Amino acid sequence: MKIYEKAPAKINLMLDVLHKRPDGYHEVEMIMTMVDLADRLEMSALPRDTIIISSQAGYIPLDEKNLAFQAARLIKDRYHVRSGVHIHLDKKIPVAAGLAGGSSDAAATLRGLNRLWELGISDGELKELGAELGSDVPFCVTGGTALAIGRGEKLIPLANPPQCWVVLAKLPINVSTAEVYGKLRSDRIAHHPSAIRMQEAIEKGDFAMVCGELGNVLEEVTLHMHPEVAHLKDTMLRLGADGVLMSGSGPTVFGLVSRESKVSRIYNGLRGFCKEVYAVRLLT
Ligand SMILES: C[C@@](CO)(OP(=O)(O)O)[C@H](O)COP(=O)(O)OP(=O)(O)OC[C@H]1O[C@@H](n2ccc(N)nc2=O)[C@H](O)[C@@H]1O
Ligand SMILES: Nc1ncnc2c1ncn2[C@@H]1O[C@H](COP(=O)(O)OP(=O)(O)O)[C@@H](O)[C@H]1O
Q: How far apart are CA 108 and CA 167, in angstroms?
A: 24
pLDDT per residue over 187-245, tens digit each? 999 899 999 999 999 999 999 999 999 999 999 999 999 999 999 999 999 999 999 99
| CA 101 to ligand 2 center in whole angstroms | 6
Q: State residue 204's pLDDT score.
A: 98
Q: State residue 58's pLDDT score.
A: 84
Active site residues: 10, 136
19: amino acid identity, one letter: H
Residue set of the binding site for ATP: 94-104
SS (H, E, C) the chain: CEEEEEEEEEEEEEEEEEEECCCCCEEEEEEEEEEEEEEEEEEEEECCCCEEEEECCCCCCCCCCCHHHHHHHHHHHHCCCCCEEEEEEECCCCCCCCCCHHHHHHHHHHHHHHHHCCCCCCHHHHHHHHHCCCCCHHHHHHCCEEEEECCCCEEEEECCCCCCEEEEEECCCCCCHHHHHHHCCHHHCCCCCCHHHHHHHHHHCCHHHHHHHCEECCHHHHHHHCHHHHHHHHHHHHCCCCEEEECCCCCCEEEEECCHHHHHHHHHHHHCCCCEEEEEEECC
Cβ within 8 Å of residue 55, ≥6 positions away: 62, 88, 89, 90, 91
Ligand 2 atom closest to residue 249's alpha carbon, by position in its atom list: 22
Per domain, the residue ranges of the chain are: 2-158, 165-281
pLDDT per residue over 148-170, tens digit each? 999 999 999 999 999 999 999 99
142 closest CA partner among 160, 161, 155: 155
Ligand 1 atom closest to residue 20's alpha carbon, by position in its atom list: 33
**CATH says 165-281 is which class?**
alpha beta
- Domain at 2-158: CATH architecture: 2-Layer Sandwich (3.30)
Please determine, for the modelled complex, whether the ipTM score is greater than 0.95. yes
Q: Which ligand is nearest to the CA of 135?
A: 1
Out of 12, 95, 229, mutate this one to test ligand 2's pocket (max ligand atoms within 8 Å of CB): namely: 95
Question: What are residue 38's DSSP bridge partners?
Answer: 8
Q: State residue 196's pLDDT score.
A: 98
Q: Does ligand 2 lie within 6 Å of residue 61's CB atom?
A: yes
Relative to beta strand 154-158, strand 165-170 is: unpaired
65 closest CA partner among 40, 96, 41: 96
pLDDT per residue over 208-224, tens digit each? 999 999 999 999 999 99
Say what the pTM is.
0.98
